[in-house]
Structure 1
Amino acid sequence: MLHFLIRAAFAAFGLAIAARLVGGITYDAPMTLFLAALLLGLVNALLRPLLILLTLPLTVLTFGLFLLVINAAMILLVSRIIPGFQVAGFTPALLAALITGVTSWAAYMLLGDINRLTARNG
């Protein structure tokens, strides 16, 4: 559970960076952004695997780049559900997917290091 919350914090950080750098992404308050990140984590855990399975041939044909489209769709879905978190269209969502992907990768690297450290000391 703690790792999920840490990953959500990194996702919120990525969404905040995206809102700062990409026109068309806005949020009302930091808590709104954190709620959007939590919902994004849930949507990615529940809905994304099904979408990946359904679009597998297209994903293979595009050498995995179609996964960015799926991630952008997940961000658009979250923006439709969470009031106060707005994404103006597909292009801002795609750029946000890139940015949150990089921050999520950084979180994975950091959490991987934390797991290795606790395994040695625990």
Structure 2
Amino acid sequence: MGLIIRILISAVAVYVASVFIPGISVTGGVGTYLIVAIVLGFLNAFIKPILTILTIPITILTLGLFLLVINVLMVYLTAYLIPGFAVSGFISALLFSIVVAIVTALIDAIV
């Protein structure tokens, strides 16, 4: 039950981010938001840790700012995998990842 609630929270966060950030396009309705949330969660759980470990030297040199680049890569990979989800630029992807993280944390705290 907790997993379903987290997916729904993430889908709401994706919706909020897609409404407020220019350059983010989600077409196809509620199902697309859910699929984007699931795929993004899967990539963040399995691919992101591998990339983080592989890029430790760059992350140390940039004082952790390279982790933002990894977040953008996860958003781009999600956009590549989901036909109804499009990202038009680096800044849009960066803002999307930040807004999704903030909205998810806020809704998670409320629930």
Q: TM-score, normalised by structure 2?
A: 0.86
Correspondence for 1:78: 78
Correspondence for 1:14: 13
Correspondence for 2:46: 46
How far the C-alpha of 1:71 sits from its partner, in A, is: 1.1
- 1:28-55 CA-to-partner distances (Å, cap 9, x unmatched) read 1121011011011111111000000011
- Within 1, Cα distance between the matches of 2:109 and 2:67? 20
Backbone CA RMSD of aligned residues:
1.7
Structure 1 window deviating more from structure 2 (7-16 vs 44-53): it is 7-16
The one-letter amino acid paired with 1:14 is A
Give 5+ residue unaligned stretches, structure 2.
none
Correspondence for 1:31: 31
Identity of matched residues, %? 36
Q: Which has the larger radius of gyration?
A: 1
How far the C-alpha of 1:110 sits from its partner, in A, is: 4.9
| 4+ runs deviating over 4 angstroms | none
Aligned CA distance change for structure 1 residues 22 and 41 (closer, same or farther; 3 Å): same
Which secondary structure state, in structure 2, belongs to the residue aligned with residue 63 of structure 1?
coil
| Preserved CA contact (<8 Å) 2:40 2:78 | yes
Give 5+ residue unaligned stretches, structure 1.
112-122
Which secondary structure state, in structure 1, belongs to the residue aligned with residue 86 of structure 2?
strand
